[in-house]
Structure 1
């Protein structure tokens, strides 16, 4: 999972040209997968029990890309779009990505 997530993030960044746009695209793609594949949602949800089970560390990162509704996704991505480019320019792309993933 860590290598796959890193590869997906890298490709999205190369296509979008900046982390803000890449993260918005990944969130939308993740939400579409979540809508049409319940397994995607089940595999990404972060729960206390899941963290105690072996092989579930990926849920720490994947849970950041899950949203409860179109409104939830839209509001969050609007916020990322509004301040993401500014934060990315101010702190640099790497630091911005770390802050986003840690949040």
Structure 2
């Protein structure tokens, strides 16, 4: 089920309204970080350069390491990570879905 911005999230990833979402592009050089920023841009309506630095809320290197696929291409062992970003809750899931939920 695709949830558009502003719709209720039925995924169980948190109560609230989905404000933004993105999908991880595994072919990118920094796929997880880029997807998180894309989802935050969608949620806030702000240009990426005007967002608070991601490292103020989560360690981007650790986030990248958690979701790095194995050398044989299998998905990472972690299923999801959730962290706060200002007034938002950001969930990064192993399936590549990044969801930003507002209060």
**Common fold by TM > 0.5:** no
Query: Larger % of strand: which?
Result: 2
Query: Larger % of helix: which?
Result: 1
- Greater C-alpha Rg: 1
